[in-house]
């Protein structure tokens, strides 16, 4: 099991980063957690890498 964290100053920027990671393929997502504050949006993806 692995994790990947992302952050961006806008929700659309975060969407682009997360979607690009998910489109890469070969992973099975276990969980996605989201958080935000006044400065940025962040997400943590817990996944299993099936390519290894």
Quick check: 9 and 37 in contact, CB under 8 A? Answer: no
Q: How many CB atoms lie within 10 A of CB 22?
A: 13
What does the pLDDT read at residue 17?
A: 98
3-state secondary structure of 23: helix
What does the pLDDT read at residue 51?
A: 84
d(CA 24, CA 38): 30
User: pLDDT tens digits for 1-52?
Assistant: 999 999 999 999 999 999 999 998 889 999 999 999 999 999 999 999 998 7
What is the CA angle 36-32-48, rounded to 5?
Answer: 145
- Helix, strand, coil percentages for the chain (3-state, nearest 5): 25, 50, 25
What does the pLDDT read at residue 25?
A: 84
């Amino acid at each position: 099991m692995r994790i990947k964290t992302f952050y961006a100053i806008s929700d659309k920027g975060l969407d682009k980063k997360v979607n690009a990671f998910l489109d890469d393929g070969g992973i099975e997502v276990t969980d996605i957690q989201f958080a935000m504050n006044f400065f940025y949006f962040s997400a943590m993806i817990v996944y299993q890498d099936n390519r290894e």
